[in-house]
């Protein structure tokens, strides 16, 4: 059907003025649901006639309002409108039967409303539960990440404390010939003789290989420990004396003697 033709046909006007027959009324109400344009046209026609009627209003006799309200007095909802009911004393005359009927009707209406609310709230509840579960998951992940960060940051703090200790001797180990880009630092506690290594710049060891730290004592290499992947400072073996430190790349698990061809960095003490 052509919506515009229908709107222009005059049938909407006849509906608004109550002149349409029942078939036309049923059709228009159906079309209003189907076509928003028709519903809008209906409202426009209604408003036009309503505005015209309001601006051409004629005041009815003033006494009429009071007559109507007197007649309806017992029917008004006293609980809400008791403010201006001078005749409130008359209210108890209302029969219990009527009150009971109102209460029954009100409770049925409330029941229907509450049923609707239940459905609405339940769907809302399910939605919220889903959102809540997603949030809990996200919270747990964030908390775990946060703990990791805290641990790392604590390690860093401890490392920093050690590095800045006055009794800590710093031994810089620049890259050897051909490996100048590499660099590592040994921190040697002159009191406890504990050795810590900070692998500032060493290439990632290939699989099956590990870096090993050596202390040169009286011209001979002494194993100072294998460098595992620790954050910040790695604690190595206790070395009482040494003139030099060096790092070589060895088989996984370390070697007895260093493979000199695989030396990466070395530095003299002092």
Partner 1 sequence: MEKSFQYSESELILLLRQRNEQAFSYLYDHYSGALYASILTIVIDEATAADTLQEVFIKIFKQIDTYDSLKGRLYTWMLNIARNAAIDTTRSKGFQKSQQNQSLSENVYELAGSVTIVADDLGLRKLVHRLRPEWKVLIELSYFEGYTQDEIAKLLSIPLGTVKTRLRAALKELHKLIKE
Site for partner 1 in 81-110 (CB under 8 A): 81, 84-85
Q: Does 67 bind partner 1 (CB under 8 A)?
A: yes
* b/e code 93-125 from CB counts within 10 Å (16+ = b): eeeeeeeeeeeeeeeeeeeeeeeeeeeeeeeee
User: CA 27, CA 9: separation in Å to the nearest integer?
Assistant: 14
Q: Is 18 in the site for partner 1 (CB under 8 A)?
A: yes
Question: Where do we find the tokens 């590095």?
Answer: 163
| Token digits of residue 94 | 């209302």
Please state whether 219 falls in left (phi above 0), alpha (psi between -120 and 50) or beta: left
Q: Which residues, including other chains, have CB under 8 Å from residue 97's CB and lie 6 or more apart?
A: none
User: Which range of residues in 29-37, 111-119, 203-211, 220-228 is near partner 1 by CB under 8 A?
Assistant: 29-37
58 binds partner 1 (CB under 8 A): yes
What's the min distance (Å) between Cβ of 54 and partner 1? 5
Q: Contact 248/260 with Cβ under 8 angstroms? A: yes
2 binds partner 1 (CB under 8 A): no
Q: Which of 76, 120, 122, 125 binds partner 1 (CB under 8 A)?
A: 76
Q: Which stretch binds partner 1 (CB under 8 A): 38-46, 114-122, 164-172, 250-258?
A: 38-46
CB 106, min distance to partner 1, A:
9
Q: Does 65 bind partner 1 (CB under 8 A)?
A: yes
Residue number, 72 or 93, with CB nearest to partner 1: 72
- Is residue 117 a contact residue for partner 1 (CB under 8 A)? no
For binding to partner 1 (CB under 8 A), which residues are involved? 8-11, 13-19, 21, 29, 32-33, 42-43, 45-54, 56-61, 64-65, 67-69, 71-72, 75-77, 80-81, 84-85
């Amino acid at each position: 059907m052509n919506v515009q033709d229908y709107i222009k046909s005059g049938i909407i006007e006849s509906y608004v003025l109550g002149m349409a027959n029942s078939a036309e009324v049923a059709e228009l109400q159906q079309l209003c649901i189907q076509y928003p344009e028709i519903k809008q046209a209906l409202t426009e026609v209604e408003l036009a006639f309503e505005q015209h009627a309001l601006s051409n209003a004629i005041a009815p006799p003033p006494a009429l309002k009071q007559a109507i309200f007197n007649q309806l007095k017992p029917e008004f909802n006293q609980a809400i409108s008791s403010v201006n009911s001078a005749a409130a004393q008359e209210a108890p005359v209302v029969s219990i039967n009527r009150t009971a009927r109102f209460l029954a009707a009100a409770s049925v209406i409330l029941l229907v409303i509450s049923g609707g609310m239940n459905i609405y709230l339940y769907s809302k509840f399910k939605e919220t539960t889903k959102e809540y579960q997603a949030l809990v998951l996200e919270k747990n992940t964030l908390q775990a990440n946060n703990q990791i960060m805290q641990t790392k940051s604590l390690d860093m703090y401890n490392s920093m404390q050690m590095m800045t200790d006055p009794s800590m001797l710093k031994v810089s180990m620049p890259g050897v010939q051909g490996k100048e880009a590499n660099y590592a630092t040994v921190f040697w506690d002159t009191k406890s003789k504990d050795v810590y290594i900070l692998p500032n710049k060493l290439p990632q060891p290939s699989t099956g290989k590990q870096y090993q730290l050596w202390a040169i004592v009286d011209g001979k290499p002494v194993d100072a420990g294998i460098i595992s992947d620790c954050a910040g400072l790695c604690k190595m073996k206790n070395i009482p004396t040494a003139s030099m430190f060096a790092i070589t790349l060895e088989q996984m698990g370390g070697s007895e003697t260093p493979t000199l061809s695989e030396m990466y960095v070395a530095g003299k003490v002092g």
